[in-house]
Structure 1
């Protein structure tokens, strides 16, 4: 199958079965997170946990980098997504999320493996 035909078939498969692009199991998610920890300075665990949390909540990379301490409510385990951090001429800037409004999402317990 040539390029465009393959893309069309792939998109059609995803419409018929939404689980098609999903990871097959938890290990497929944990393995790259563990590799990230191994590649980090002194095996810094937080990087892997952030990657798992972002994957479990489908957070965009800008939303992850825009997270601040005050955005997380650890009593109810809810995070409020208020901003995204992106690169711009002159450095990083904060701007509104893609939906232009704050939203609340659960904080997953990803540290349990």
Structure 2
């Protein structure tokens, strides 16, 4: 099988580390997404699950969107116990064995028990 230079433009030429880094950064930027738009009933469901998890002290998995470049970002997930719901700052404190994370309530896109 023969690989053409068109399918792999770096084949047969020297690439500077700076060029490679820029190329990889551009590929990472292509993976960024806009914040998902959620329905009101989904948001209310998340808030109910978070309050219940905090009250009953059981673990949940929270997925949230995090801005990377302006309106583009990535989603992150973490499991843990909701230790605090800060209604004034509109964020939750999620704690597990390895990490503590303050997550903005407005950025949460999924909560699973």
TM-score by length of 2: 0.36
Q: Which has the higher contact order (CA 8 A, sep 6+)?
A: 2
Bigger helix share: 1
Bigger strand share: 2
TM-score by length of 1: 0.36
